[in-house]
Amino acid sequence: MSTPTPRVRMPATAKAGEVIEVKTLISHEMETGQRRDGAGQIVPRKIIKKFTATFNGKEIFSADWASAVSANPYQAFFVKVPETGTFEFSWLDDDGSVYKATQKVTVS
């Protein structure tokens, strides 16, 4: 299994109070724990169970995911940007691993 790779696409600049779209995607196989390998052994479950987005340290969006979420999950949402700051995105895996990405936005 490869290391999950988070990606974020959003504007680098915005006007004060503007609503922007944030698009995220993480490369992750999302193994459900119900499949068997070539030797007949169950492949252990390994899914991302929670996605969280913060802006300047304040949570602005979160989603709880379950085994029905597809591989390489995509999450998009809209947010009003009041000031220049940093978004931090985190994906929490079943095994406790956390994958993070940050993106700055400058407000004019």
Q: What is residue 1's predicted lDDT score, i.e. its pLDDT?
A: 57
Rg (CA), the chain: 16
Nearest to 79 by CA among 25, 10, 31: 10
List residues bridging with 106 in a β-sheet: 13
Give the domain ranges of the chain.
5-107
Is the confidence at residue 11, as pLDDT, over 90?
Answer: yes
Task: Report which of residues 44 and 75 the model is more confident about.
Answer: 75
The answer to whether 89 and 8 have CB atoms below 8 angstroms apart is yes
Q: Which CATH number fits domain 5-107: 2.60.40.1180, 1.20.140.10, 2.60.40.10, 3.30.70.1560?
A: 2.60.40.10
Sign of CA dihedral 96, 79, 6, 38: positive
Q: Structure pTM?
A: 0.89
**How confident is the model over 33-67, as pLDDT tens digits?**
888 999 999 998 889 999 999 999 999 999 999 87
Is the confidence at residue 107, as pLDDT, over 80?
Answer: yes
**How confident is the model over 79-106, as pLDDT tens digits?**
999 999 999 999 999 989 999 999 999 9
Name the one residue in this structure whose structure tokens are 């602005």.
60
Q: Return the structure tokens found at 37.
A: 């390998």
Tally Cβ neighbours within 10 Å of residue 20. 16
Q: What is residue 67's predicted lDDT score, i.e. its pLDDT?
A: 76
